């Protein structure tokens, strides 16, 4: 392997991907493992952690799973200390854990709004804060925040999610601003509409064989004219986690098939 390609290797690195029992987090962690990293992940309960461990094992990956609520600062600090003791100091952090509540703003309770902000914005702050001291100690670190189309765009029923993901974009830039001098790069990935089990109902054909209205809407808004696959996020994530991106900092990389570049088809 030549020295240029070596820049994309994650050999010897320890990567924590939050909420990575399945879905986008699982796809990213799998790519990291293939690039040579040791994988650590958490989830909210033991059942999800067990499912995650089984899914990684099925792919031949020995992952380390921990039960941890990323909104609980004491629990996060304790988990990061435990990871340090059992696996090592974290080199790469992906703040992937997130939730969405699709409720029109006037019908949404403040407690629901706060819950989304807590998981999607406060938790990345809490987990980053727990991991940065170890990165400073090691002399390098990579933080990747999973942002969203809603870091840039609004849409009906997602006021809390858009507020959180817009805030996460700015938290990304601020971590870069504060810790760039410590050789820590903090960037974001903004997935477009990704074909996951959670979005499967939106892609099912209707009884008459026609597309679901939301499916048609997304295809009309996407120059690539398709949904993304979780695998579409793997290359960008490995790039941002590797030495190939050492001078990329405070950047949000949108992996969206071109949605943000496009006004959409004329009706």
Catalytic residues: 161
Check if the beta carbon of residue 9 is closer than 8 Å to that of residue 35: yes
The C-alpha atoms of residue 38 and residue 129 are separated, in whole angstroms, by: 21
Provide the total of helices (H) and of strands (E) in the chain, helices listed first: 10, 7
The C-alpha atoms of residue 32 and residue 39 are separated, in whole angstroms, by: 7
CB atoms within 10 A of CB 267: 4
Residue 143 phi, psi (nearest 5): -120, 130
Dihedral of the alpha carbons of 20, 115, 102, 228, in degrees to the nearest 10: -20
Q: Which residues contact 247 (CB under 8 A, 6 or more apart)?
A: none
Q: Which residues contact 131 (CB under 8 A, 6 or more apart)?
A: 16, 80, 90, 93, 141, 143
Residue 55 phi, psi (nearest 5): -65, -40
């Amino acid at each position: 392997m030549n020295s240029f390609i070596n820049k994309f290797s994650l050999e010897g690195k320890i990567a924590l991907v939050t909420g990575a029992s399945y879905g986008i987090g699982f796809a990213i962690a799998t790519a990291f493992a293939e690039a040579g990293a040791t994988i650590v992940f958490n989830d909210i309960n033991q059942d999800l952690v067990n499912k995650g461990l089984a899914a990684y094992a099925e792919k031949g990956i020995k992952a380390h799973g921990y039960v941890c609520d990323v909104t609980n600062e004491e629990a996060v600090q304790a988990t990061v200390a435990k990871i340090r003791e059992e696996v090592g100091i974290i080199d790469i952090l992906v703040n992937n854990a997130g939730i969405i509540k699709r409720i029109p703003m006037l019908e949404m309770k403040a407690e629901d709004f706060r819950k989304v902000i807590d998981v999607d914005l406060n938790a990345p702050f809490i987990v980053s804060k727990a991991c940065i001291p170890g990165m400073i100690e090691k002399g390098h670190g990579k933080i990747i925040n999973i942002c969203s189309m809603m870091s840039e765009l609004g849409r009906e029923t997602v006021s809390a999610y858009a507020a959180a993901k817009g805030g996460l974009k700015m938290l990304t830039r601020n971590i870069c601003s504060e810790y760039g001098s410590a050789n820590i790069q903090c960037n974001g990935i903004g997935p477009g509409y990704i074909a996951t089990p959670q979005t499967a109902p939106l892609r099912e054909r209707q009884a008459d064989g026609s597309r679901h209205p939301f499916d048609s809407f997304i295809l009309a808004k996407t120059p690539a004219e398709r949904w993304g696959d979780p695998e579409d996020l793997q290359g960008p994530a490995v790039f941002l986690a590797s030495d190939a991106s050492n001078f990329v900092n405070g950047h949000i990389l949108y992996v969206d098939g071109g949605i943000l570049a496009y006004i959409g088809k004329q009706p």
